[in-house]
Amino acid sequence: MAYQQLYDMSEKTKYELEFVVQSSPQLLYQYISTPSGLSEWFADNVNSRGELFTFIWDDSEEEAKLLSRKSGERIKFRWVEDEEEGNDYFFELRIQVDEITKDVSLMITDYSEEDEISESKMLWDNMISNLKQVLGSA
């Protein structure tokens, strides 16, 4: 029983965020799906070899596998570390256009430890404000 509780505590919780972005879906998609676009706001540098993307920050490097993409709409990654540990966590960036207002939103789906969710959300807030500056929609 104790092991089961320990296991449950290490489970990550899925959360979703929505950010309204003043941009065309086509332009926004370039920034969420290409290494050059991602390196403008998500990481210091991004390289890709096939389905493997390497995200580089100051002194760390993380690899993520491209799980799926739908041109102009969404892209989904899984950190290689999660895959190696047998976890099926992922993060997805999805563009949503309101049919009536034509407002463009970027929907983020991600996973985090329960006690780190607010920190993770703040990190996304910061990254999306970088993205908005790059897009000129801040």
Residue ranges of domains in the chain, CATH in brackets = 13-135 (3.30.530.20)
What does the pLDDT average to over 5-26? 82
Span 40-76, pLDDT tens digits: 999 999 999 999 999 999 989 999 999 999 999 999 9
Q: Can you give the pTM of this predicted structure?
A: 0.89
Alpha-carbon distance 49 to 77, whole Å? 14
| Mean pLDDT score of the chain | 91
- Closest Cα partner for 10 from 76, 60, 85, 62? 85
Whole-number pLDDT of residue 121: 96
Examine the pLDDT at 2 and tell me if it is beyond 60: no
Examine the pLDDT at 4 and tell me if it is beyond 70: no
Q: How many CA atoms lie within 13 A of 11 on its CB side?
A: 10
Helix (H) or strand (E) holding 32: helix 25-33
Examine the pLDDT at 99 and tell me if it is beyond 80: yes
Examine the pLDDT at 9 and tell me if it is beyond 90: no
Residues of the chain above pLDDT 70, percent: 92
Alpha-carbon distance 104 to 69, whole Å? 18
Examine the pLDDT at 10 and tell me if it is beyond 80: no
| Count of residues making up the chain | 138
Examine the pLDDT at 138 and tell me if it is beyond 80: no
Confidence class of residue 6 from pLDDT cuts 50, 70 and 90?
Answer: very low
Residue 23's Cβ-count burial label (10 Å; 0-12, 13-18, 19+) is buried
What does the pLDDT average to over 105-120? 95
Examine the pLDDT at 5 and tell me if it is beyond 90: no
